[in-house]
């Protein structure tokens, strides 16, 4: 015991006097004192031979010894490394830096941004709203009667009933919120995520993205609707794209129409994408139902408006030939990397 204490004092003196001339000497110091078979470990091992009543006192001495060795090593290492960084010829500052890999935009973001930018040029402003909606903004205000199939529990994710809160099934709820607080003229485009209780497959998903437009002012006619959408299609798909309208039904528009564009693959000759018709459906539209304007206190005798809505995934499918909806949310980097450079 006495002998061991004496030995520790000797080691301490050696540590104090030690000075490393280079990295190799410092490393030798580390191995000698702090290595797995080093002196510190060795001395610590002597602890088991110490009688119980002296264990506490001896433990403190050993601990101080260990800290002294570690601190000496750390301070020498720091001094040594500042020496090497300042004087070592091994650092070549002219070497090129590590390359930074640029990420890619998600295809849906690319298409949504393109859509928004086209409508912005026509004076449409972007409007956004909450994804958790109440019944009034998602259904009732939009002239969706209580027995409408869209309200079916099969289609809608309800979060709470009486009062009803749900995940919005379309971005038309944003139109409702804007008409509630803004007087005409209203000219908005509402991009956003919507939810339906659907079985996930290549052609259906429980969430997808829409962009809906609304224009309410005096003397807005169906001709304005046609020209606006024709401009959009030509900007999105090129000057050769043609459009056609087919009569349809939506509760919030009257008259209502679905719009097709000439097939982006075959140009109208017929192929599997257009099911050999030469046309593909891209959106629904119509003149805003007067009852909807009245719901928001907008005089339907003075004002008219048009609305349209389309799926961002659908436009993306036609533009980039993505044929499986699931690809958009699987985060498969092989899919996403194909959009490198697209903006
Ligand atoms: Zn075709």
SS (H, E, C) 225-277: HHHHHHHHHHHHHCCCCCEEEEEEEECCEEEEEEEEEECCCCCCCCCCCCCCC
Sheet-wide strand order for 165-167: 132-134, 165-167, 158-160
Q: What is the CA(312)–ligand 1 centre distance, in A?
A: 20
Q: What is the CA(339)–ligand 1 centre distance, in A?
A: 23
331: left (phi over 0), alpha (psi -120 to 50) or beta: left
pLDDT > 70: percent of the chain: 96
Alpha helices in 88-152, H assignment, sequence order: 107-121, 135-138
Mean pLDDT of 279-287: 94
**Stated pTM of the model:** 0.68
Q: Give me the residues paired with residue 181 across strands.
A: none
CA 135, CA 161: separation in Å to the nearest integer? 10
Q: What is the CA(202)–ligand 1 centre distance, in A?
A: 19
CA 332 from centre of chain: 14
Instruction: Pick the closest to residue 283 from 329, 230, 332, 331 (CA basis).
Output: 230
Q: What are phi and psi of 159, to 5 degrees?
A: -95, -30
Q: What is the CA(263)–ligand 1 centre distance, in A?
A: 4
CA 170, CA 309: separation in Å to the nearest integer? 9
**Residues with Cβ < 8 Å from 38, sequence gap 6 or more?**
30, 31, 32
The reported pLDDT for the residue numbered 236 is: 93
The reported pLDDT for the residue numbered 49 is: 83
Provide the residue count of the chain.
343
Mean pLDDT of 39-48: 85
**Is 86 a residue whose pLDDT tops 60?**
no
Q: Which residue has the tokens 């061991």?
A: 4
Sheet-wide strand order for 304-311: 125-126, 186-195, 207-217, 304-311, 279-288, 253-262, 243-250
Here the tokens at position 237 are 């798909």
**Is 81 a residue whose pLDDT tops 80?**
no
Identify the sign of the CA torsion 249, 252, 253, 258.
negative
Q: What is the CA(214)–ligand 1 centre distance, in A?
A: 30
CA 247, CA 303: separation in Å to the nearest integer? 23
CB 189 within 8 A of CB 127: yes
The reported pLDDT for the residue numbered 283 is: 94
Here the tokens at position 49 are 């031979």
Mean pLDDT of 290-316: 93
Indicate the range of 86-95, 108-117, 211-220 predicted with least confidence: 86-95
Q: What is the CA(316)–ligand 1 centre distance, in A?
A: 16
**Is 274 a residue whose pLDDT tops 70?**
yes
Q: What is the CA(239)–ligand 1 centre distance, in A?
A: 17
CA 222, CA 213: separation in Å to the nearest integer? 14
DSSP 35: S
Mean pLDDT, the chain, integer:
88
CA 42 from centre of chain: 55
The reported pLDDT for the residue numbered 148 is: 76
Strands (E), the chain: 125-126, 132-134, 158-160, 165-167, 186-195, 207-217, 243-250, 253-262, 279-288, 304-311
**Residues with Cβ < 8 Å from 55, sequence gap 6 or more?**
47
Q: Which residue has the tokens 């450079």?
A: 341
Residue 341's pLDDT band (cuts 50, 70, 90) = confident
Q: What is the CA(271)–ligand 1 centre distance, in A?
A: 4
Indicate the range of 68-82, 143-157, 207-221 predicted with least confidence: 143-157
Q: Give me the residues paired with residue 190 across strands.
A: 212
Q: Give me the residues paired with residue 187 across strands.
A: 215
The reported pLDDT for the residue numbered 85 is: 53
Q: What is the CA(75)–ligand 1 centre distance, in A?
A: 75
Angle in degrees, 0-180, between the axes of helices 107-121 and 312-320, rounded to the nearest 10: 110
Q: What is the CA(169)–ligand 1 centre distance, in A?
A: 30
């Amino acid at each position: 015991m006495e002998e061991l204490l004496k030995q520790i004092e000797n080691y301490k003196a050696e540590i104090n006097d030690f000075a490393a001339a280079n990295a190799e000497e410092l490393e030798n110091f580390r191995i000698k004192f702090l290595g797995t078979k080093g002196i510190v470990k060795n001395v610590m091992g002597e602890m088991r031979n110490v009688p119980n009543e002296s264990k506490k006192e001896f433990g403190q001495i050993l601990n101080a010894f260990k800290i002294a060795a570690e601190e000496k090593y750390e301070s020498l290492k720091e001094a040594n490394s500042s020496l090497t960084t300042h004087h070592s010829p091994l650092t070549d500052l002219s070497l090129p830096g590590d390359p930074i890999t640029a990420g890619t935009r998600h295809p849906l973001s690319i298409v949504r941004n393109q859509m928004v930018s086209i409508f912005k040029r026509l004076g449409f402003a972007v409007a956004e709203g909450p994804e958790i909606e109440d019944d009034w903004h998602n259904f009732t205000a939009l002239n969706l009667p209580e027995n409408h199939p869209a309200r079916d529990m099969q289609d809608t994710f309800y979060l709470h009933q009486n009062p009803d809160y749900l995940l919005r099934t379309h971005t038309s709820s944003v139109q409702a919120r804007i008409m509630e607080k803004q007087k005409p003229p209203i000219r908005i485009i509402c991009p956003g995520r919507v939810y339906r209780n659907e079985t996930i497959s290549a052609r259906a998903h429980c969430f997808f993205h829409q962009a809906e437009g609304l224009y309410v002012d005096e003397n807005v006619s169906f001709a304005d609707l046609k020209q606006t959408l024709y401009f959009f299609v030509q900007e999105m798909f090129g000057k050769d794209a043609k459009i056609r309208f087919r009569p349809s039904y939506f509760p919030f528009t009257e008259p209502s129409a679905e719009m097709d564009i000439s097939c982006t693959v075959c140009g109208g000759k017929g192929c599997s994408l257009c099911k050999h018709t030469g046309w593909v459906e891209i959106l629904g539209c119509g003149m805003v139902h007067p009852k909807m304007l009245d719901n928001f206190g907008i005089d339907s005798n003075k004002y008219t408006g048009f609305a349209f809505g389309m799926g961002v995934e659908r436009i993306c499918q036609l533009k980039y030939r993505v044929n499986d909806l699931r690809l958009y949310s699987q985060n498969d980097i092989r899919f996403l990397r194909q959009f490198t450079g697209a903006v």
